[in-house]
Chains A and B, each alone.
Chain A
Amino acid sequence: MSVPALRIDNLVKCYGDFAAVDGVSLAVEEGEFFGLLGRNGAGKTTTINAIVGLARITRGTIALFGHDVERDWRLARGTVGLAPQEYNFDRYLNIRDVLIYQAGYYGLRGAAVARRADLLLERFDLTSKAKQVYTRLSGGMKRRLSLARALIHEPRLLILDEPTAGVDVELRLELWSLLRELNGRGSTIILTTHYLEEAEELCDRIAIIQSGKLVALDSTRHLVGAGNLQDVFLELTRR
């Protein structure tokens, strides 16, 4: 049996007495398109932060492709690319350099990186803005840049924290198409979103978190059943 792309065992993350994540266990197989859903403050972003090293784990373990994120952090971090919820680009670099410097932080440099940056800019329709800083970009362009940056080091796992928040319908459909294409090429994708139809449309399996606890984990088809994801979600996350 292959090593899962992500394995979380009994993850607990506390802030003082408050457990933001409380005993979550799940595994994401390589090549899966996985949805992580929950209301605001349910613990989705905290879980993601624990996976990528932005939050310290209180208890439990997380492994990426078999590498423990705390013990083998260097190997683990090299496997994952994150497109965060908030834009956090370097304001002193033009957007081509944002990609090239990000690759540098992952230990990559040279002509191959520059070529990949140019390809990503082209793929995400940002070539004409290559020499501009990110503050000059529209909201949709920033979203695409975030995705391009997450992909610059060719991660095996892509984590997208609300990638379509605040974008118009046309761009959302375009991003869906991009994500499907990436997943089709073998990338494992974990997606958090508040657009339930997005999760229903894209994800193979879905986990729902409520108050830091995992309340559902199933294939999208089984979870939705004869109804729709919205009804299931509201039922499971009723306060």
Chain B
Amino acid sequence: MNVNAVGFGTLVKREMVRTFSIINQVIWPPVIQTLLYVFVFGLALGSRIKDVQGVSYAQFLIPGLIMLQVIDQTYSEGSSSVFQGRFMNSIQELLIAPMSAAEIVLGYVVAGVVRAVFIALLITLLGVVFVHTAPTNWALYLGTIVLVAILFSSLGIVFGLLAEKFDHIAVLTTFFITPLVFVGGVFTSIKFLPPAVQRISLVNPMFHMIDAFRYSYTPTGDEPLGVALSVVVVLAALALGTALLMTARGVKLRT
């Protein structure tokens, strides 16, 4: 048995069971939050804003909101599942089984990707119903979600391994993810910002993710698609590599 495919599949399935057993924490909040953003910012305030990148403000908002929720949910679920497994010791079920670090990490990451695609599709449906917008490039739509979900699921694993208490997991969300996503182009094109701030935005990784994803809805973005996607691919590879290395070394898993 060189690859434990059944073990990997079992872990993915287990993560799905977990997701749907806490559906009110994982699935519905991003949907409800998005609905509120769409009504308050998109439809109420947005009606006073003229077109952005050739579409209405509410239509401009939808891809950014999808990325916001994909990023938030994949990180928080990845990290809390790993941390909870460590805290309750239930992760030992995996550690004593004939499963490699790669099978364990990929199990968590693939589950994160599935969860992200599911949440994204629900929000996309909201966009179709309330804002009459839908992706025009489905390959880019799915590809970007998969890459971003790999990146943040992997980061979730890394922080789930490093954390000593639940509070530590929130550090990345509170001080980095949420602020960077909000200033990364969810609510506005960076072209609306002063030139100096535009240049700063280029070092914000969230800007590249949101911009790459927005290309799946509108044919224009704030930077070339190739650049945006390259940044996402490199970051996803780095995060996945770090999660694999830490799990293989047994950081906070094996004494």
Contacts and interface: CB of A to CB of B under 8 A. Distances in A.
Contact of B254 (A53, A80, A86): A53
A56 B10 CA distance: 26
Interface string B82-101: 00000011101111111110
Interface in B1-30: 1, 4-7, 9-11, 13-14, 17-18, 21
A101 interface: yes
Given A56-B250, A56-B255, A104-B9, A92 B21 contact: yes
Interface string A87-121: 01111110001000110111111000000000000
Contacts of A89: 90
A32 to B, nearest CB: 21
Q: Which of B1, B11, B88, B90 has the most CB of A within 10 A?
A: B90
Contacts of B4: 74, 105, 107
Contacts of B7: 104-107
Interface size class of A (residues with CB under 8 A): 20 to 34
A101 B10 contact: yes
B77 to A, nearest CB: 13
B6 A54 contact: no
Contacts of A46: 255
Which of A102, A105, A107 lies at the interface centre, i.e. has the most chain B CB atoms within 10 A of its CB? A105
B10 A88 contact: no
A54 B92 contact: yes
A104 B151 CA distance: 27
Contacts of B94: 105
A139 interface: no
Contact of A84 (B6, B92, B99, B250): B92
A208 B119 CA distance: 55
A107 B93 contact: no
B88 A54 contact: no
B89 A86 contact: yes
Contacts of A77: 96-98
Interface in B40-82: none
A74 B98 contact: yes
A55 interface: yes
Interface in A51-86: 52-56, 73-75, 77-78, 80, 82, 84, 86
B254 A82 contact: no
A93 B10 CA distance: 12
A106 B96 CA distance: 9
B90 A78 contact: no
B10 A53 contact: no
Contacts of B90: 88-91
A107 B92 contact: no
A34 B151 CA distance: 47
Contacts of B95: 53-54
A105 B17 CA distance: 15
A84 to B, nearest CB: 7
A164 to B, nearest CB: 20
Contacts of A10: none
Nearest to A15: B255
A55 B14 contact: no
Contacts of A183: none
Given A92-B21, A93-B17, A109-B10, A49 B88 contact: no
B89 A49 contact: no
5 contacts: A54-B255, A88-B89, A92-B21, A102-B97, A105-B93
Interface of A: 15, 46, 49, 52-56, 73-75, 77-78, 80, 82, 84, 86, 88-93, 97, 101-102, 104-109
Given A88-B89, A101-B93, A107-B6, 4 more contacts: A91-B88, A92-B18, A97-B17, A106-B97
Interface of B: 1, 4-7, 9-11, 13-14, 17-18, 21, 88-90, 92-100, 250, 254-255
